[in-house]
Amino acid sequence: MAKISCLKAINLACHEEFARDPKVITIGESVGKKGGAWGYFAGLTDKFGENRTLEMPIVESAFCAFACGATLAGWRPIVEFMFADFVTLGLENILNMAPKQRYNSAGKNSCPIVYMLPQGGGMSGCQHSQSVEAWMSNVPGIKIVAPTFPGDTKKYLQASIRDDDPVVFLFQRTSFGLSEEVPDDLAVPENLLNASKVVKEGKDVTIVAYHRALLNCIKAAEEVEKEQGISVEIIDPIVLRPLDISKMVASVKKTGKCLIVHEAYKIGGFGMQISAEIAENALSDLKKPIVRLGGKEQPIPFGIAGEKYMYPSIAEIKEEIIKLAK
């Protein structure tokens, strides 16, 4: 058991998977000696050699195409993007090629690629701070993983690397330093199904959230419980596609009230899919309409003050919890 950060969790997962499978490689900008833009590939080149940490020019479309081709030769690429916002430059291969490779080959070829996308707020302005999960959620054949805590980050990254289909692996940049105790022998899930978990048990209101919004929801729930006596249950979906709704539905059947929170824009955000799934499976159990909180409908401003305005705050989350609980 050791206390590790999310950044360290990513690094450990990569080292363990590189040692486990000689076909795992990294592709991206500065992924060699520097260890990638954020340092989570640190030490891989020294330990496993330059042939497995392939540095690419700043041409996302090219190295995403390279990754698709590499899978046909038996490799399992981890593709790094400096910022999730730049994923638009590689979408032809991420959405139009990789997810169809198995189908187009009648099941003969798999496409085991992990796309590493650091996303969300972090005082980097409107073109470097977006949440992109919903942009890619409407394509069969691709999986979307969005862990928050170090233990989940480590084990679900390892599961993603072992998966035979393309996986978009999203993580919140501002949570790199978030730390917790993680077992040395942490078990890796056999697949990316049934991933959601109850982070906090409660009986009055259900919250579904992930990434930094989840951390704010935990703080808000603790405060309203202390101040108002409202008991909040919090669900972390972890894997957004395929989405495990079982715990969400069970919780809503118990509380009758649901709040969904994320940093992405409310309109078109992934919370719409979660809301639809809950409505389809637990509509008769809802005592009040589902409430969604998301980013304000404008480009993301640069700086601390702008981001505080932009994203759902602890105070805003508390206000909605109290309204639902009445």
Nearest to 293 by CA among 196, 203, 198, 217: 217
Is 211 designated active site?
A: no
Q: Coil, helix or strand for 264?
A: strand
Please give the structure tokens belonging to residue 139.
């394509």
Tokens for 55, please give them: 């540095």
Type of residue numbered 148 = T
Spatial separation of the C-alpha atoms in residues 102 and 96, rounded to whole Å: 12
Instruction: Supply 316's token pair.
Output: 């805003």
Cis check for the bond before 242: say yes or no (omega within 30 of 0): yes
Catalytic residue among 15, 128, 211, 262: 128
User: Inter-axis angle of helices 6-20 and 150-162, to 10 degrees?
Assistant: 30
Q: Which residues are catalytic?
A: 128
